[in-house]
């Protein structure tokens, strides 16, 4: 399930992030890649333990909290603090699958990476190439979103970033452990949530059909959630 979440950050928040990253120290992106992915990865990152990463990561985490669409799609139990990467001309990331288990910095715990998310911080007009290519059972999907928008997709997906041929592509990326481990079950709950949202807008919260559908949603979530 691929879900585009628009306007996660306001233009002012995007500008704040860009200013912070402009002043940040960039390092080789392979520091956070596994052995296999490191051979395919060619980009730059802000060190995850830096003050810049923590400040901008907290801003994004707050933005996620006010996004009903992200929460409906991900049903997050844990969200890893966001990281920040940069692709300049000639840089890209070959086909790979994200690691299954991630350590939560400073918490002494690990989490399962069910969902991958990329939040774009540069406008498509600022660079050529750099498409995020996500493969699923329906084929390959090229994603290149406006600044402040993000894409949510299963971490099990084979994906890559096409080489940059002009400009520079900056983004935040992070992983979530969902309350619902199975992507198929999560997709059903997401579709049901969207249907309920539409029914509430067309009818009312106390409509019998809306109440029945809401009950089904919560009982399925109760059956499938792992806390």
Domains of the chain with bracketed CATH: 3-178 (2.60.120.620), 183-224 (4.10.860)
Confidence grade of residue 39 (pLDDT, cut at 50, 70, 90): confident
Measure the N-to-C terminal CA separation of the chain; round to a whole number of Å.
22
Is the pLDDT score of 30 beyond 90?
no
Q: What share of the chain in percent tops pLDDT 90?
A: 92
Confidence grade of residue 178 (pLDDT, cut at 50, 70, 90): very high
| Sole residue written with tokens 């750099």 | 130
Q: Other C-beta atoms within 10 Å of 21: how many?
A: 19
Half-sphere exposure of 115 (CA within 13 A, CB side): 32
Is the pLDDT score of 34 beyond 80?
no
Classify burial at 109, counting beta carbons within 10 Å of its beta carbon; exposed 0-12, middle 13-18, buried 19 or more: exposed
Range 41-54 average pLDDT: 94
Q: What phi and psi, each to the nearest 5 degrees, are found at residue 10?
A: -75, 165
**How do residues 98-153 score in pLDDT, each as one tens digit?**
999 999 988 889 999 999 999 999 999 999 999 999 999 889 999 999 999 999 99
Range 185-210 average pLDDT: 96
pLDDT attached to residue 32: 67
Q: What phi and psi, each to the nearest 5 degrees, are found at residue 161?
A: -120, 120
């Amino acid at each position: 399930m691929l879900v585009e979440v628009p306007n996660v950050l306001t233009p002012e928040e995007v500008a704040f992030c860009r200013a912070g990253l402009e002043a940040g120290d960039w390092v080789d992106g392979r520091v956070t890649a596994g052995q296999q992915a490191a051979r395919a990865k060619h980009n730059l990152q802000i060190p995850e333990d830096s003050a810049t990463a923590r400040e901008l990561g907290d801003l994004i985490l707050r933005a996620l909290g006010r996004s009903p669409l992200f929460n409906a799609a991900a049903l997050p139990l844990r969200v890893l603090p966001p990281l920040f990467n940069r692709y300049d001309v000639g840089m890209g990331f070959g086909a790979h699958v994200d690691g299954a288990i991630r350590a939560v910095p400073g918490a002494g715990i690990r989490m399962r990476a069910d969902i991958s998310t990329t939040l774009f911080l540069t406008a498509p007009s600022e660079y050529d190439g750099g498409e995020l290519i996500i493969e699923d059972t329906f084929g390959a999907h090229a994603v290149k979103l406006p600044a402040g928008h993000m894409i949510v997709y299963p971490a099990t997906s084979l994906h890559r970033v096409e080489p940059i041929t002009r400009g520079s592509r900056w983004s935040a990326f992070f992983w979530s452990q969902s309350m619902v481990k199975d992507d198929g079950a999560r997709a059903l709950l997401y579709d049901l949530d969207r249907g309920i949202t539409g029914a509430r807008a067309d009818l009312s919260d106390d409509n019998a059909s809306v109440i029945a559908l809401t009950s089904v949603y919560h009982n399925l979530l109760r059956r499938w959630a792992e806390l």
